[in-house]
Amino acid sequence: MPSADNHTLVKPMQLPPPPRSRFQFSLRIILLVTAVVAVWTAEIVNRREIPFLQRRIAAMRPIARELSIKDPAKIAVVKCEELWYDENEWDVYLPEGKFELKVATQEIDDRNQPAEYKSVFLPSGQFRLAITQQKTDTGWRVSVTKDDQEILTADEPPEWYPASGSSGGGNFSVSETLEETTPVVLFRRRFTRPLNKTSNQVPKDPCEGVLLWIEAAP
């Protein structure tokens, strides 16, 4: 204390700082914790959402019927959605190389390709193929178009298909990637024959029908 006789200053007593509580943090730590929670919450939400999106996409892709070209060196094909009865169209991608489109209407079995057929060369690239079977004045006509241009036809007499029914249809309801070394069978249909007076059956032997396929040209 200063006295009246001399002016010596005395330092005031400094109280020690109050003890820090265990749960008392600096502002910097609080901000850092907030940032950690924000970042990791967003990460957890993403991790939950990603598998859900992958599942939904996997379920929707077959419905969309889109051509998926996964390897430009391989064939890709998908059958377009049928919007009317007996509508058969495909989106096709062919890599560089020589390919033939073949159609047969006789001697069709359930797995092989017959020796007799009509064919046309196909270019590489992407295009749409369609096949129709229509009654004409003289019998039946099987017509194949590429991007709406007719490229192959086969005419058959009325007895070729007596409207007795058939078995089979178009393939590739889901987009597929295929090696160019194996035939790509787009459509296989075999006509039934009378089994007795009341029922028909697809014969075990090769029979009349329609077979459409793509094969690498020699």
Partner 1 sequence: MAQRIVEVVLVLMIVIGAALLWRSANVRSELTAEYDRLVRKTGQLPIGDETKVHIRALEIDEPGHYAWRAYFPPNYAFSYATGMGGGSSSRSSAWEGILRVRIRNTDKGFMVYTRLVGGSSLRGYGSGKLRDLFHRRPGLLQELQVNQLGADELTVFDATEAQTLLEVALPEKLLAEIKEQVTLNEYNEITPFIERIRIGPTGFEERERAAAATGQAPQ
Q: Which residues bind partner 1 (CB under 8 A)?
A: 25-26, 28-29, 32-33, 35-36, 39-40, 42-43, 46-47, 49-50, 53-54, 56-57, 59-64, 66, 81-86
Written as six digits, the tokens of 24 are: 């008392």
Nearer to partner 1, 31 or 73 (CB): 31
**Burial group, residue 79, by CB count within 10 angstroms (0-12, 13-18, 19+):** buried
93 in Cβ contact with 77 (< 8 Å):
yes
DSSP β-bridge partners for residue 177: 76
DSSP letters, 72-119, are TTSEEEEEPPP-STT-EEEEEEE-SS-EEEEEE-SSB-SSS--S--EE
Backbone angles phi, psi at 28, to 5 degrees: -60, -45
CB of 66 to partner 1, least distance (A): 8
Nearer to partner 1, 101 or 175 (CB): 175
Residue with tokens 């020699």: 218
CB of 25 to partner 1, least distance (A): 8
CB of 194 to partner 1, least distance (A): 22
Nearer to partner 1, 82 or 100 (CB): 82
Nearer to partner 1, 42 or 120 (CB): 42
Q: Is 34 helix (H, G, I), strand (E, B) or coil?
A: helix
CB of 218 to partner 1, least distance (A): 38
Distance separating alpha carbons of residues 145 and 110, to the nearest angstrom: 24
What one-character DSSP code corresponds to residue 164? Answer: -
User: How many C-beta atoms lie closer than 10 Å to residue 71's C-beta?
Assistant: 12
CB of 189 to partner 1, least distance (A): 14
Amino acid at site 174: V
Nearer to partner 1, 20 or 197 (CB): 20
CB of 65 to partner 1, least distance (A): 9
Nearer to partner 1, 50 or 120 (CB): 50
